[in-house]
A = this chain, B = another copy of it.
Amino acid sequence: MTTKNNNVFSITPIGGLGQIGSNMTLVSGQEESVIIDCGILFPNEDSFGVNYIIPSLEILKEHEPKHLIITHGHEDHIGAVSHILSEFPSIKVWSSPFSSELIKRKLSRDKLNKKIEIFKEKENIEFSEFSVTPIHTNHSIPETHGLLFKFKSKKVCFLLISDFKFDNQTPYEPPMDLEFIKKEVEPFEKRLLLVDSTNIKSRNTKTFSEADIIPTVESIIKNNKKRIFFTLFPSNIFRQKTILNASKKFKRNVIPYGKSVENYLQTAIDTKLIEESTSHIKSAKSIDCDSDKNIIIISGCQGDFKGALRRVAVGEDAYFKIKKDDLFIFSSSPIPGNEKKVSQIINKIYEAGGEVITNSDLLIHSSGHAGKEDLKIIYEAFSPTDIIPIHGESYLLNHHKKFIEEAYPKAKSHLMYNFDNLVIKNNLEVKVYKNDPIENIFIHGKGIPLDKDAFRQRRKIASMGVVFISLKIDTLNRKKITQKIDFLGVPQIIDQYKEKLENLVNNHFNKNKIRSFEKTEENLKIEVRKMCNQFLGYKPQVLIHFI
A interface list, Cβ under 8 A from B = 18, 44-49, 201, 336-337, 339-340, 343-344, 346-351, 355-356, 360, 393-395, 397-398, 417, 444-451, 453-455, 457-459, 461-466, 468, 470-472, 482-484, 486, 488-493, 536-538, 541, 543, 545, 547
Residues from chain B with a CB closer than 8 A to the CB of A492 are 451, 453-454
Residues from chain B with a CB closer than 8 A to the CB of A351 are 18, 394, 417
Residues from chain B with a CB closer than 8 A to the CB of A18 are 347, 351
Q: Known interface pairs A470-B470, A488-B457, A491-B448. Does A394 touch B45 (Cβ–Cβ under 8 Å)?
A: no
CB-based contact A538/B49 at 8 Å: yes
CB-based contact A458/B545 at 8 Å: no
Residues from chain B with a CB closer than 8 A to the CB of A462 are 47-49, 458-459, 461-462
* Nearest CB of B to A511, in Å: 22
CB-based contact B463/A49 at 8 Å: yes
Closest residue to A492 on the B side, CB-wise? B451
CB-based contact A468/B538 at 8 Å: no
**Given B337, B347, B398, B466, which contacts A394 in the complex, CB threshold below 8 Å?**
B347
CB-based contact A537/B45 at 8 Å: no
**Bound CA span A530–B463, Å:** 26
CB-based contact B451/A398 at 8 Å: no
CB-based contact A45/B46 at 8 Å: yes
* Nearest CB of B to A185, in Å: 31
Q: Known interface pairs A360-B201, A462-B461. Does A347 touch B395 (Cβ–Cβ under 8 Å)?
A: yes
Residues from chain B with a CB closer than 8 A to the CB of A545 are 468, 470, 484, 486, 545
CB-based contact A446/B537 at 8 Å: yes
CB-based contact B454/A458 at 8 Å: no
**Bound CA span A49–B538, Å:** 9
**Given B47, B340, B537, B547, which contacts A483 in the complex, CB threshold below 8 Å?**
B547
Q: Known interface pairs A462-B47, A545-B468. Does A444 touch B491 (Cβ–Cβ under 8 Å)?
A: yes
Residues from chain B with a CB closer than 8 A to the CB of A344 are 44
Residues from chain B with a CB closer than 8 A to the CB of A468 are 468, 543, 545
**Given B47, B397, B464, which contacts A45 in the complex, CB threshold below 8 Å?**
B47
CB-based contact B48/A45 at 8 Å: no
Q: List 19 A-B contacts (CB under 8 A).
A: A18-B347, A44-B344, A45-B45, A47-B462, A339-B339, A350-B395, A444-B538, A446-B537, A448-B537, A451-B491, A454-B465, A457-B465, A458-B462, A461-B462, A461-B466, A468-B543, A470-B547, A483-B547, A488-B541
CB-based contact A466/B488 at 8 Å: yes
**Given B343, B398, B453, B536, which contacts A395 in the complex, CB threshold below 8 Å?**
B343
Residues from chain B with a CB closer than 8 A to the CB of A337 are 339-340
CB-based contact B49/A450 at 8 Å: no
